[in-house]
Structure formats: structure tokens, C-alpha cells
Amino acid sequence: MEMPDTIKVYCPYCKSVTLHKVKPYKKGKTRTLSRGQRHHEEKTKGYTSKIAGKVPVYKQAKRQVVVLECTVCHKKHYRTIGSRTKKTLQLEKTER
């Protein structure tokens, strides 16, 4: 999937259409002291591997998420593009 690296979209903070930088979304580090993580650690205490529970469902492809950074207010918001694809996101350079 190809996308230009700068696009003009609506900024919810400026409340107007401005130029945005496009970057691929990366998952951040999980917090070790969050409620869900503490709950999980308490549940798996004393076990070395997985415990019984819901089996995770693995989808064959992912929806692409991009991070849009406003060039006016420098705030970030997210957008999912297209449907599920196995193709990785490629950013094209645009000359302005």
C-alpha cells in the first residue's frame, strides 16, 4: 500500500484543514504497572507458561494505521486507511 508522506486533512485541534506529516504507527511499550498487566501477573503467578483462558484469534491481515502530525499545532492523531491487507505501508516523497 502506497501513500504520500504529506497530506492535507482536517485537524481536530486547529478545527481546519491543514498540512499533515504521515508516519507509520508503531506500538508503544506496555506499562508494567497498569491494572490489566498487574492482574495478568497475579493470575500467572507460579506458572511458567500459558494458563487456561480464551484462545486468541489471529487474523490473516492487518488494517494499516497512520500517525498524522499537524504542521501548525504539532499535535498527533491517528487514521486507519483502507481495508485489511498483507502489504506493508510505503510512504512516497512529495515535493512541495
Size of interface with Zn ion, in residues (CB under 5 A): 6
85: Cβ contacts below 8 Å, ≥ 6 apart: 1, 61, 62, 63, 64
Q: What is the dihedral angle through the alpha carbons of 9, 11, 14, 16, rounded to the nearest 10 degrees? A: 40
Segment lying near Zn ion (by CB under 5 A), choices 5-13, 21-29, 31-39, 40-48: 5-13
Q: Which is nearer to Zn ion, 64 or 68 (CB)?
A: 68
Least gap, CB of 68 to Zn ion (angstroms): 9
Under the binding rule (CB under 5 A), the answer on residue 73 touching Zn ion is yes
Q: Which is nearer to Zn ion, 16 or 85 (CB)?
A: 16
Question: Which residue, chain included where needed, has cell 491494572?
Answer: 35
